[in-house]
A and B are shown apart, each in its own frame.
Chain A
Amino acid sequence: MADNESWVLWELMGSTDGRTRGSMTRALTELPARGWQLAARLSSVGSDGHWPHVMALWRVPDDATLARALDQGWEDGVDEDGFVWGKSKLHVRISGQLKDTDTAWLVEYLVADRPLSTETFEGRAGPDLLLAERLAPWQGVALWGAADLFALSEREWRGMGSREAKGMRQVGGWWAVRTPDRDIV
C-alpha cells in the first residue's frame, strides 16, 4: 500500500425533479481529468438507503495530485446544480480491492474503538475493500461485493457485514450496484 495514496468516497444526493442516478453518474464520469482514477461508480439501491443517490470511489495516486485538487478550490468543474448535496471522505486503503466482475455491494460506514487495521477482521471473513479515514482512522468504509444482487443476497444469508468485527462501535450500511450504462432514475 502506497503511504501517500488516498481513496476519496463521494456521495451525491439527487432529487425526483430530474437529478437522477444516471445524470449524476454521467456528471461524475465527465469531470475534467485531474489525475484521479474513478475506481467505482455506484448507485444506491432505493430499497436500502438514500435515493436517488450515487457514490464515486476515487483513487488518488499521491499527495501532489490531492494537493492540486485542493488548490483548485470549489471551481473544479463540478456542476453543483446537478445534485442536492454532496459529501466526501478522505481515506487510506487498509486491505483488499474491488473485483472487476462484481456488480453489487454492501457499503458500510464503520466507527470502531481503535484505528481500523488488518487486525480488525482477523479470524473472520472480511470485506473486499476496507478503507480508514486518513484524519480519523477509527472511522472508515467497508465494501462487500458479489456478482449481482442475487449473489449478494446469498452472501448476506451466509453472514456478511462488520457488526461482529473487532472493536466495532457503530455500523451502518446499504446496498449499491455498479451504475449500469443505461439511464436509471
Chain B
Amino acid sequence: MDWNDRFYCHEDVYLRPGMSATYLANQGRQRSWSEGHNNTLVGIFAQLRPMGQRWPRAVNLWESTWKIKVGALNEQFGPNEGAKKANDKELDRWWRASSGHRSGGWDRLALPGPGSPSLATLRQGPPRRAVIQQLVRLRLGARKEYLFWFAETVPRALEGSAWQAMMWLAPLHSESAIVYFGAEDWNRVAELGRALPVPDCRWEPLVETSALKPWENSDYLKRP
C-alpha cells in the first residue's frame, strides 16, 4: 500500500421522501474541504424502483488516494488545528441545510479490485447513464478469489453486449464487493441477465441489486 494508491468512498445514503433530485444536485456541488483534500466525484446516483433496496436511497461514489481521503477525514474529525473549511462553520451550515434531504447513511472505504477501471478510463467511450449496482456479500475469506474471477471473467463475458463492467470495488471492512455495470440506456436489461456468468457457489454470494440513475453532472459522464 502507498499513500498515492487509488482509494474510494462509497456512501449509501437514506433519502427523505421526494428528495432524490434535490439531494443529488445539492450533494454533487458540495466541496467541504481545503484545497487538495477534496475527493473526485465519480458519480452520484439515486435508486430506481424496478430494482432497489430501501428506496428512496442514493449512492455517492468518490475517487481519491489514501493521502487525500485521510487528509480530508483528519480535517473534519481530527484534533482542532485551527480554521480550515471542514472544521469551521461552513460544513456545519451545509450539513444542517441538507438535513431535509437525507436522514443518514452507511459509508464504505474501498479499494479498487484487480483491473477495476479508474474514473479517467470511465470517461472514455459513450456515457453510460443506465447503471446497475450489485452489493455482493461473500463467505469470509472468499473475496480475493471472487474479485480475481470477476476481473478475469465478467468483462470478457460482456464483450459485444450493450453492457460494460464499470468498476469492482473491495470495501475495507467487510467481506463484500461492490460491482457496477453500465449501458447507454435501459433497453437491454434482459441481455445483461443472459450474459452475466454465475459465481462459484463456494463463495456463498448474496447479492443486492439496484438500478441507478446518475446526476447529470457526475464526473464519469463528462468527456475530456
Contact = CB atoms under 8 A, between A and B. Distances in A.
Interface of A: 3-4, 6, 8, 10, 60, 63-64, 66-67, 69-71, 73-76, 78-81, 85-90, 92, 111-115, 133-139, 167, 169-170
B21 A67 contact: no
Contacts of B130: 70
Please give me the 5 A-B residue pairs with the lowest Cβ-Cβ distance, nearest first.
A80-B17, A113-B201, A70-B186, A136-B207, A67-B186
Contact of B204 (A60, A71, A169): A169
B56 interface: yes
B134 interface: yes
B157 to A, nearest CB: 13
Given A71-B186, A74-B49, 12 more contacts: A63-B189, A64-B187, A73-B20, A73-B46, A74-B56, A80-B18, A81-B17, A87-B54, A89-B51, A90-B51, A138-B201, A169-B201
B55 A3 contact: no
Contacts of A134: 189-190, 193
A111 B52 contact: no
Interface residues of B, number: 36
Given A74-B20, A137-B198, A87 B189 contact: no
28 contacts: A3-B190, A6-B190, A60-B50, A66-B50, A66-B186, A70-B189, A70-B211, A71-B186, A74-B47, A74-B48, A74-B55, A74-B213, A76-B49, A80-B17, A81-B18, A85-B54, A85-B55, A86-B49, A86-B54, A88-B52, A90-B50, A134-B190, A135-B51, A135-B189, A135-B207, A136-B207, A138-B205, A169-B204
